[in-house]
């Protein structure tokens, strides 16, 4: 359905009224009223409007958010704006999140892939590093698109599917891209949830999280720890977990955090020591929030 607020914005840009638009396009006032009520209109009318305004049908249907940060990211994403906050989020979060997990791509190589869809790989760069970089860009897009939706198992599984699709592991039947793990695994020498435990424990984790009435940064950090401790997928849990945190920060109007590769030892300590000292992980995430806050200041986005 067409976003009424987007339509009004487009009309203002052209200096037109709704009545003038109906005359220009030969559409009825009834159709305009349906848009105002948030009802679906015929696809051919939507396409006609998109052509008239010189934009995509998707842009006409986007939701305008009161969250300035989220709306900025959506606006820049829709036109693939170079050199903006969306651009820098994609490059910096993708580079750091992948590098924490062992990617050999440099930040410059990551930037080149995002900006030109090419890469100067040099020597010894695994193909999966490149594939997962492109996939991570798409996963961030998914987080921006789905930011205001409740967090569900389907969203979490879709993030894993986007991240791991077309990788070497995706050809393994037991690897279960986009689904929970089939084989037990450990992380940092610590046992994680058994495969048969994952689904019921994820349901409990999400149910308790969604039952909260006022989500804070501490709630998101706690969820991140619980998710990583559960380790529901065969691989990719760290990146999926950090993408979930991005989505949820955008959902609740909180400044997201980017864990820089240089801080990964503090990050790992925070995860491993959570039960004894929650401050380690909290401080590392808040430091990552300061990193994002500085990025916002470059583009004069209020924090």
Pairing mode, strands 186-187 and 190-191 = antiparallel
pLDDT bin (cut points 50, 70, 90) of residue 164 is very high
Phi, psi of 230 (to 5 degrees): -70, -45
Q: What pLDDT score does 1 carry?
A: 66
Alpha-carbon torsion, ordered 57, 152, 136, 2, to 10 deg: 10
Binding site, annotated residues for ATP:
235-242, 267-268
In this prediction, what percent of the chain has a pLDDT beyond 90?
Answer: 71
Q: Is the pLDDT score of 40 beyond 80?
A: no
Q: What average pLDDT does range 12-17 have in this prediction?
A: 86
Q: Quick: pLDDT tens for 49-90.
A: 999 999 888 888 866 677 889 988 988 887 788 999 999 999
Q: Which of 27, 12, 88 is nearest to 301 (CA)?
A: 88
The neighbouring-strand residues paired with 187 are 190
Please list the active-site residues.
Answer: 231
Indicate the annotated binding residues. Answer: 235-242, 267-268
End-to-end CA distance of the chain: 31
Its pTM stands at: 0.81
Answer for the pair 259, 285: CB distance below 8 angstroms, yes or no.
yes
- What pLDDT is recorded for position 64? 65
pLDDT band at 113 (very low <50, low <70, confident <90, very high): very high
pLDDT at 37: 62
Q: Say yes or no to pLDDT of 225 above 80.
A: yes
Q: Which domains does the chain have, with CATH numbers?
A: 2-63 (1.10.260), 68-299 (1.10.3290.10)
What pLDDT was estimated at residue 29?
85
CA distance 255 to 246: 9
DSSP string covering 134-166: HHHHHHHHHHHHTTTSPP-HHHHHHHHHHHHTT
* Pick from 236, 279, 287, 240: nearest CA to 259: 287
């Amino acid at each position: 359905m067409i976003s009424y607020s987007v339509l009004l914005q487009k009309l203002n840009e052209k200096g037109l009224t709704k009545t003038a638009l109906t005359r220009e396009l030969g559409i009825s006032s009834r159709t305009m009223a349906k848009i105002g009520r948030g009802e679906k209109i015929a696809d051919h009318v939507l396409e006609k409007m998109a052509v008239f305004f010189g934009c995509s049908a998707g842009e006409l249907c986007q939701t305008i958010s009161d969250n300035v940060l989220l709306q900025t990211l959506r606006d820049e994403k829709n036109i693939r704006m170079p050199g903006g906050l969306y651009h820098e989020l994609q490059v910096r979060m993708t580079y750091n999140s992948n590098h924490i997990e062992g990617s050999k791509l440099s930040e410059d190589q990551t930037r080149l892939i995002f900006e030109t869809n090419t890469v100067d790989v040099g020597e010894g760069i695994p193909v999966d590093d490149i594939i997962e970089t492109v996939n991570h860009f798409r996963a961030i897009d998914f987080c921006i698109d789905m930011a205001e939706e409740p967090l569900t198992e389907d969203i979490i599984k879709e993030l894993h599917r986007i991240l791991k699709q077309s990788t070497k592991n995706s050809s393994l039947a037991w690897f279960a891209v986009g689904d929970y793990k089939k084989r037990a695994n450990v992380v940092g020498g610590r046992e994680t949830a058994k495969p048969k435990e994952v689904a019921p424990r994820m349901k409990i984790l999400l149910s308790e999280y969604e039952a909260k009435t006022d989500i804070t940064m501490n709630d998101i950090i706690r969820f991140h720890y619980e998710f990583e401790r559960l380790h529901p997928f065969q691989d990719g849990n760290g990146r999926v977990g950090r993408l979930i945190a991005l989505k949820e920060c955008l959902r609740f109007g909180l400044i997201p955090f980017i864990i820089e590769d240089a801080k990964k030892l503090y990050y790992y300590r925070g995860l491993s020591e959570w039960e004894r000292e929650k401050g380690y992980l909290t401080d590392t995430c808040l430091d990552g929030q300061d990193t994002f806050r500085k990025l916002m200041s470059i583009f004069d986005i209020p924090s």
